[in-house]
A = this chain, B = another copy of it.
Amino acid sequence: MKIFRAQFSGFCFGVKRAIKMAEEARLANSSKDIFTLGELIHNPQIVAELKASGIQSADRATDLKDSIVIIRSHGITKGEKETLLQSGNILIDATCPYVNRTHELIASMVAENYPVFIFGDKDHPEVIGMLSYGDDQSRVVTGHTDFSGKQFSKLSLISQTTQNPEAFTALASRLLPLCKELRVFNTICLATTERQQASQALAGVADLMIVIGGKNSSNTRQLHSICKTLTHCLHIETEAELNPASLQGVQTIGLTAGASTPDEMIIKVFNRIKEINRESDFVKSIDQIPLFKEESC
Q: Establish whether residues B176 and A181, one from each chain, have CB atoms under 8 Å apart when the complex forms.
A: no
Minimal Cβ-Cβ distance residue in B for A165: B177
Most B-side CB within 10 Å, residue of A176, A177, A179, A182: A176
- One of B173, B177, B179 near A176 (C-beta < 8 A): B173
Q: What's the minimum C-beta distance from A63 to chain B, rounded to whole angstroms? A: 38
A184 at the interface (CB under 8 A from B): yes
A13 close to B (CB within 8 Å)? no
Q: Does A150 lie at the interface of the complex (its beta carbon under 8 Å from any beta carbon of B)?
A: no
A172 in the interface (beta carbon within 8 A): yes
Q: How large is the interface on A (under 10, 10 to 19, 20 to 34, 35 or more residues)?
A: 10 to 19
B contact residues around A172 at 8 Å (CB): 172-173, 176, 182
In whole angstroms, how far apart are the Cα atoms of A70 and B180 in the complex? 29
Is A185 in the interface zone, CB < 8 Å from B?
A: yes
Could you tell me the distance in whole angstroms from the C-beta of A192 to the nearest C-beta in chain B? 13
Q: Is the CB of B180 within 8 A of A185?
A: yes
Interface pair B186/A179, CB less than 8 Å apart: yes
Q: Are A183 and B186 in contact (CB under 8 A)?
A: no
Return A241 CB to nearest CB of chain B, in Å: 35
Q: Please, which residues of chain B bring their CB within 8 A of the CB of A30?
A: none
- Tell me the minimal C-beta distance from A184 to chain B in angstroms: 5
Measured in the bound complex, the distance between the Cα atoms of B177 and A196 in whole Å is 14
Q: Which residues of B contact A229 (CB under 8 A)?
A: none
Q: Is A29 an interface residue (CB 8 A)?
A: no
Q: What distance in Å separates the Cβ of A253 from its nearest Cβ neighbour in chain B?
A: 30
A115 to nearest B CB, angstroms?
15
- A87 interface contact, C-beta 8 A: no
Judged by a CB distance under 8 angstroms, whether A169 is at the interface is yes
Measured between beta carbons, the chain B residues less than 8 angstroms from A182 are 172, 183-184, 186
Chain B residues with CB below 8 A from A179, complex form: 184, 186
Contact B181 A184 (CB under 8 A): yes
- Give the distance in Å from the alpha carbon of A172 to the alpha carbon of B172 in the complex: 9
Give Cα A281 to B276, complex, Å.
85
Q: Find the B residue at minimum CB distance from A105.
A: B181
What are 13 residue pairs bridging A and B, where the CB atoms are less than 8 Å apart in the complex? A168-B176, A169-B173, A172-B172, A172-B173, A176-B184, A176-B186, A179-B184, A179-B186, A180-B185, A180-B186, A181-B184, A182-B184, A182-B186
Q: Which residues of A contact B (CB under 8 A)?
A: 165, 168-169, 172-173, 176-177, 179-186
Identify the 10 closest CB pairs spanning chains A and B, nearest first.
A173-B173, A169-B176, A182-B184, A183-B183, A181-B185, A172-B176, A180-B186, A169-B177, A169-B173, A176-B184
